[in-house]
Amino acid sequence: MDEPVLLTGAGGRVGQAILNGIGETYDWRLLDREPLPAAKVPNGVPEADRYVADITDEHAVRDAMRGVGSVIHLAGDPRKTAPWESVLRNNIDGTQVVMRVAAEEGVDRFAFASSNHAVGGYETEDRTPDLYRTDDDYRLDGTEIPRPGNLYGVSKATGEALGRLYHDEHEMSVVCVRIGNLTKDHPPREYERGQAMWLSHGDCAHLFDRCLRADYGFEIVYGISNNDRRYYSIERAREVLGYDPQDNSADYTFEGEPRAETESGAETEPRVEDPPTDES
Q: Which residues are catalytic?
A: 152
Exposure on the CB side of residue 219, measured as CA atoms within 13 A: 24
Crossing angle of helices 58-65 and 94-104, rounded to 10°: 40
Determine whether the annotation assigns residue 156 to a binding site. yes
Determine whether the annotation assigns residue 91 to a binding site. no
Amino acid at 249: S
Determine whether the annotation assigns residue 115 to a binding site. yes
Determine whether the annotation assigns residue 181 to a binding site. no
Return the number of other C-beta atoms located less than 10 Å from residue 101's C-beta: 23
- Residues 29, 70: Cα–Cα separation, whole Å: 10
Q: Which one, of 174, 171, 168, lies nearest residue 142 by Cα?
A: 174
Write the DSSP assignment of 196-225 as a string of letters: HTEEEHHHHHHHHHHHHHS--SEEEEEE--
User: 171, 106 in Cβ contact below 8 A?
Assistant: no
Say which residues have a Cβ less than 8 Å from residue 202's Cβ, sequence separation at least 6: 21, 246, 247
- Residues 211, 230: Cα–Cα separation, whole Å: 22
Q: Which residues of 232-267 are buried (b: 16+ CB within 10 A; e: fewer)?
A: bbbebbeebbebebebbbbebbbebeeeeeeeeeee
Phi, psi of 137 (to 5 degrees): -100, 15
Give the residue numbers of the binding site for NAD(+).
90, 115, 152, 156
Give the residue numbers of the binding site.
90, 115, 152, 156
